[in-house]
Amino acid sequence: MIYLYKFLPLIISPLFLILILILIGTFLKSKKIILSSLFILIFFSLPIISNKLILYLEKDYSLENISNIDEADAIVVLSGMVRKIENKNNLSYEFNDAVDRVLAGIDLFKENKAPLLIFTKGQYPWSKGISEGEYLKKFSIKLGIPEKNILLTDIVNNTEQEAISVKKLLNKNDINVILVTSAYHMPRAKKVFESVDLKVVPFAVDFRSSTKKITLMDFIPSVGSLNGTSKFIREIIGRLYYNMKYLI
């Protein structure tokens, strides 16, 4: 299932569509189709388009002050912020743009918002080394979080498995959790966690959209913007899937 989940967004991504059109245009020797593919590439690579799409994903949340967050039974930090780099002799770990997730989780714990800090052991079947949750646990201990207050889920590779594993780990009814994840991912994550009867206090971080004044640079195509557009499509697919599955 995980392979299908990762492959499906690829085959309906802008880049895949562009490649298919180029191949068709080349086979049919149609300049019109090839030019259309280039237009699509430019359109989906525009920062102004990518930013509007990401803004739509994040529209339900804003950056909260920790002091405004109610206390809960546990703080749950979802995986998705660590990449593994394989060198000749060892495997190293680096944070990506979503590092705000773990930093926010640590800050929430230090502000006594919950007695437990939970990391999910995100790990794909093809991954090497320790899981993301295990790495985050070591990182958090270095920053002063007591080991006894950190819990890890089972190995998981999607949001639904994270929710089920957290529920299993806490093993109680009427549980309140502060859920920490990226703003664009929060609507889907919140629904999935609530579907397993967990009460969720959302704490969205890692905002990707911008409210800055529009400039000429917003109309110059970029690889980063194409990636943002692709992220929008992946997230919309995820939301549609879980909405249909849970009918919520």
Tell me what pLDDT residue 6 has: 61
Distance CA 97, CA 90 (A): 23
Take residue 151 and report the two structure tokens written for it.
Answer: 């819990």
- Closest-CA residue to 22 (of 41, 49, 7): 41
What's the confidence (pLDDT) of residue 234?
A: 87
What local confidence, expressed as pLDDT, does residue 66 receive?
A: 96
pLDDT of residue 203: 98
Q: From first to last of its 248 residues, what are the pLDDT tens digits of the chain?
A: 555 556 666 666 777 888 888 899 888 889 899 999 899 999 999 999 999 999 999 999 999 999 999 999 999 999 999 998 887 778 889 999 999 999 999 999 999 999 999 999 998 877 788 999 999 999 999 999 999 999 999 999 899 999 999 999 998 888 999 999 999 999 999 999 999 999 999 999 999 987 778 888 999 999 999 999 988 988 998 888 888 877 65
The CATH code for residues 66-205 is: 3.40.50.620
Backbone angles phi, psi at 9, to 5 degrees: -60, -30
List, by residue range, all CATH 3.40.50.620 domains of the chain.
66-205
DSSP codes, 25-84: HHHHT-HHHHHHHHHHHHHHT-HHHHHHHHHHHHTT--PPPGGGSPP-SEEEE-S--EEE
pLDDT score at 177: 98
Answer whether 123's CB lies under 8 Å from 131's CB.
Answer: yes
Sheet holding 117-122, edge to edge: 150-156, 117-122, 74-77, 176-182, 199-205
Query: In Å, how far from its chain's centre is CA 105?
Result: 15
